[in-house]
Amino acid sequence: MANIKDVARYANVSPTTVSHVLNGRGRVAKETRDRVLEVAERLGYTASAHAQQLVTRRSRIIAIQMPDLDVSGRGTALVPKSESEYFLELINGAAAAATDARYALIVVSSGVDASSMRSFGVDGMIIVDPKGSEQFLQGSFADQYPVVTTGEPVVAAARPCFVVDNDHEAAARDMLDHFVAQGCSQPAIIVDTTSRSYIRDIQHAYGEWCNANDVRPAVVAVAEASPNEMGKALSSLRSGPSPADSIYTSSDECAIALLDAAREAGISVPGHLALASAVDSSILRVTNPPVTGVFLHPRDIGARAVESLTDLIARKDPDCQLPPLDSNRTLIPTRLVVRASTAMEANQ
């Protein structure tokens, strides 16, 4: 059976270099790294996970903390249940990236505490949709362990963290411009009352866009995406001297409920009203009409979060020679997926 010295001899490098490559330590040229990995695979050499942990003092375990998901269907104070598709895709992307980096990924609930994570010996933490008050962004844990968040903390965290997010403000502006291109002149927004940074970003972008385009802003916040709530929101936005002719919702669940409310009120979508969601999902493709949405590339968000976290873990190594980070924020582009719900010109 091949050992580390065999790999070093055939790759024409030192055993230390082989160790650094297989353990993800130090700074090794890509050509050398690829050669060592190719030789190790050809010889069938796999470093002992236990030995790697002893050498690197790392568990090669990272954790990802998920927010509360609404399984009740009421939508109150929790993440809407329809967005579970987004989170599943995010986890799939994170899991694939962790495997590629030879890390184990564990998924933990919002209620887990810092002491539990220390007992697992995790090397770092990813927090999805952070509030900012999480234990992992406070005190000694944040001092000892790298933390990456997907989405900005809603309130300032005690310790700075690395953020992977979409540019939700740019996506909102693109959607509002799309409404105008379809002949709309009075776009409005409906947002849920969950405490998440992307909703804040949508509202901020909408306010600035309205100011720049001399449009009277119309914003309704709903506690739940129920028929009653969405019916009242729609009635409010369609009344008055400047009724909304297009509505951007903060979630696919809100968009679906609003589509039902419009049908109940005899308001044609898209004939009388253009409708779009800030979160795209598979269900929006099969509604009648299909609803325009913003695709957020959740797999890429999960993968980039893991890549950022493992990079931060590597930077804690005393032998690390990586250059300083240019920024502690990475933005993943969004994609506007246009469907029939905003095809106003074709229906006029």
Joined tokens for residue 244: 């909304």
Nearest CA to 292 out of 345, 246, 230 is that of 246
Q: Which amino acid, one-letter code, is at 222?
A: V
Rounded mean pLDDT of 261-269? 95
pLDDT of residue 33: 84
- DSSP-assigned states of every residue in 144-163: HS-EEEES--SS--SS--EE
Rounded mean pLDDT of 40-50? 71
Alpha helix ranges (H) inside 187-319:
197-212, 227-238, 252-264, 298-315
Q: Which residue has the higher pLDDT, 219 or 157?
A: 219
How far apart CA 219 and CA 221 sit, in angstroms, is 7
With a cut of 90, say whether residue 185 has pLDDT above it.
Answer: yes
With a cut of 80, say whether residue 326 has pLDDT above it.
Answer: no
Angle in degrees, 0-180, between the axes of helices 252-264 and 227-238, rounded to the nearest 10: 70
How far apart CA 61 and CA 99 sit, in angstroms, is 11
How far apart CA 208 and CA 78 sit, in angstroms, is 28
How far apart CA 266 and CA 169 sit, in angstroms, is 32
pLDDT tier at 345 (50, 70, 90 boundaries)? low
CB 219, CB 209: distance < 8 Å? no
CB 336, CB 292: distance < 8 Å? yes
Neighbours of 143 (CB within 10 A): 9
Of 295-299, 306-310, 316-320, the least confident = 316-320
CB 148, CB 189: distance < 8 Å? no
pLDDT of residue 77: 41
Q: Which range scores top for mean pLDDT: 27-41, 102-116, 151-165, 295-309?
A: 295-309
Q: Which residue has the higher pLDDT, 273 or 74?
A: 273
| Residue the block writes with tokens 């679906």 | 256
pLDDT of residue 75: 40
pLDDT of residue 120: 73
CA 11, distance to chain mean position in Å, is: 40
| Residue the block writes with tokens 């050499």 | 45
With a cut of 70, say whether residue 79 has pLDDT above it.
Answer: no
pLDDT of residue 144: 81
Rounded mean pLDDT of 19-27? 69
How far apart CA 190 and CA 129 sit, in angstroms, is 20
pLDDT tier at 76 (50, 70, 90 boundaries)? very low
How far apart CA 123 and CA 280 sit, in angstroms, is 33
pLDDT of residue 82: 54
Mean of all residue pLDDT scores within the chain: 86
Domains of the chain (ranges; CATH) run 4-56 (1.10.260.40), 61-160+299-332 (3.40.50.2300), 168-296+336-342 (3.40.50.2300)
With a cut of 80, say whether residue 160 has pLDDT above it.
Answer: no
Of 51-60, 210-219, 299-308, 323-332, the least confident = 51-60
Percent of the chain with pLDDT over 70: 85
CB 194, CB 252: distance < 8 Å? no
Predicted TM-score (pTM) of the model is 0.80
Q: What is the pLDDT of residues 198-241, one digit of tens each?
A: 999 999 999 999 999 999 999 999 998 888 999 999 999 999 88
Rounded mean pLDDT of 56-73? 71
